[in-house]
Amino acid sequence: MGAVREKLFLAAHAACHDKVYRYFRRRSEGASTAEDLTAEVFRIAWEKCCQDQELSVLMVFGIARNVLRNHNRSNARSTNLAQQLERQRIHPLGMGEDAVGEAMERLRPLEREVLLLTYWDGFTSAEVSELLHISASAVRMRLHRARKELSHLLGTDYVAKDVSNEQ
Amino acid sequence: MSNEKKSAVERLAAADPALAVTQEDLARSRGKSLAVMQTDAVQLAVGGSVEQFHRQPPVRRFRVIGGVGLVAAAAAVVAGVFASSLNPQQLQQPVPGATQSAAVPESDSSGPSQPPEIVGAKAATGAAEIVVGGNGNKAAVSTDEGVNLIMDALITGTLGLNSGGCFAGIHPDGTSGGLVFPFGTKVTATGVILPDGTPVNLGDNYAFGGGGSPGHVDLGECSPVGTPFLVQSWDGLVSK
């Protein structure tokens, strides 16, 4: 019983840990927060393994999404609006490249999430569809819109730079 | 347009914060997340785990209790009818004696035992008088006799005279604090003699046990400001 539980947990851990950690690094404040959130995901996974439940990558990411949502909710409660705005101004989405970060901020939240899950986390449309509980065609449509919008936003940025260079 | 899209996606990929993740970061996080295997923490809900709660079969206790209640009510009605048909004298019960209630404790003996009552304890009330000794020096002495509840504070200082000619504690910064000596203290020209015969003279360093004098007794020139310290223990605490 204990051995089965350990085996299930270690399999899920080996398959998902690095992806989950990177998932949190992309969406939270820093390395220590990402570590804490990852540990919380695997604590829940360890409990689930108690019921001899096999954990797929998507199940672990489902847990991760819930953990991140809770984390963001408690952050929003404890941090006042001014501090949040300040933090977002300084570190938009934790990204280094400001133009991309600003463009991402201007996308709709669900479209942004589809984009990030696809291009950063490397999920297929079918996996994103299962993770977000929306149809695959909706994922494709949102991805198309998000890409278009991002291109537009970044393209505008480029044009503005070219114009300024020409002057 | 396709070039623009490609460029946007490439820039998006290049802006991935996870590119900064090192193997050390991953190793540290792996260790931390594997540590959960050492625990058997289970999320608990009131009355048991969530899992147990959901697996619990439906409770039919209330139905059974309701049935028993109905039977009991019917029995009570039948008994009442039967009793009303009897001679009233047959129903008379012996009246308990007036002293019986005093003999029988009111609380149920099967209940939790009451804490033992503290008897014979006497705390200080703060009552004191000013005693004048030789040379006209004065000291505030407690009039509480037989106090056996001792406070735990400690005060240190040097015995001196305050501006009112009263024996008081002189602190290192030069200020003075009122002292109330225990009941039975004698006042001499050079200091006080505590009830067990321990002398404390002017200039002696002391470390007295006790606490702030309770109550608001006016000690006049012996404690012009603040709450005086009531001395209650002093064994081995006086030095020249």
- Give the torsion through C-alpha atoms of B81, B82, B86, B90, to 10 deg: -110
Min mean pLDDT across A79-93, B90-104, B188-202 is at B90-104
Asked whether the predicted pLDDT for residue B219 surpasses 90, the reply is no
Tokens of B98: 């007036």
pTM: 0.46
> In angstroms, rounded to a whole number, what is the distance separating the alpha carbons of residues A91 and B157?
59
Asked whether the predicted pLDDT for residue B41 surpasses 50, the reply is yes
pLDDT for position B82? 57
Tokens of B34: 């594997």
Which of A26, A41, A43 is nearest residue B18 as measured by Cβ atoms? A26
Q: pLDDT tens digits for B170-180?
A: 877 777 888 99
Asked whether the predicted pLDDT for residue A160 surpasses 50, the reply is no
Higher pLDDT, B236 or B43: B236
Find chain A residues with C-beta within 8 A of B29's C-beta.
17, 21, 34-35, 38-39
Ramachandran class of B105: left when φ > 0, alpha when ψ lies in -120 to 50, beta otherwise: beta
Cβ–Cβ contact B54 with A under 8 A: no
pLDDT for position B1? 45
pLDDT for position A85? 63
Confidence category of residue A157, pLDDT binned at 50, 70, 90: very low
Q: How far A5 CA sits from the closest chain B CA (Å)?
A: 10
Question: How much of chain B, in percent, has pLDDT values that exceed 90?
Answer: 8
> In angstroms, rounded to a whole number, what is the distance separating the alpha carbons of residues B39 and A48?
14
Find chain A residues with C-beta within 8 A of B45's C-beta.
none
Domains of chain A (ranges; CATH) run 1-78 (1.10.1740), 96-167 (1.10.10.10)
Question: How much of chain B, in percent, has pLDDT values that exceed 70?
Answer: 67
Asked whether the predicted pLDDT for residue A167 surpasses 50, the reply is no
Cα B124 from chain centroid (whole Å): 20
> In angstroms, rounded to a whole number, what is the distance separating the alpha carbons of residues B210 and B182?
10
Average pLDDT estimate for A56-78: 88
Asked whether the predicted pLDDT for residue A164 surpasses 60, the reply is no
> In angstroms, rounded to a whole number, what is the distance separating the alpha carbons of residues A70 and B194?
68
| Average pLDDT over all residues of chain A | 81
> How far is it between the farthest Cα atoms of chain A?
73
Average pLDDT estimate for A102-122: 89
pLDDT for position A62? 92
Q: Angle of helix A136-166 relative to helix A125-132, nearest 10 degrees? A: 110
Asked whether the predicted pLDDT for residue A73 surpasses 70, the reply is yes
Find chain B residues with C-beta within 8 A of A50's C-beta.
42
Average pLDDT estimate for B8-36: 87
| Average pLDDT over all residues of chain B | 75
| Domain extent listing, chain B | 128-239
Q: pLDDT tens digits for B67-111?
A: 677 777 778 777 766 555 555 554 454 444 444 444 444 445 455
CB pairs under 8 A between A and B: 99
Q: CB distance A95–B11 less than 8 Å?
A: no
Q: pLDDT tens digits for A113-155?
A: 999 999 999 999 999 999 999 998 999 999 999 988 888 888 7
Q: pLDDT tens digits for A47-57?
A: 887 777 778 89
Which of B4, B33, B51 is nearest residue A38 as measured by Cβ atoms? B33
pLDDT for position A64? 93
pLDDT for position A6? 84
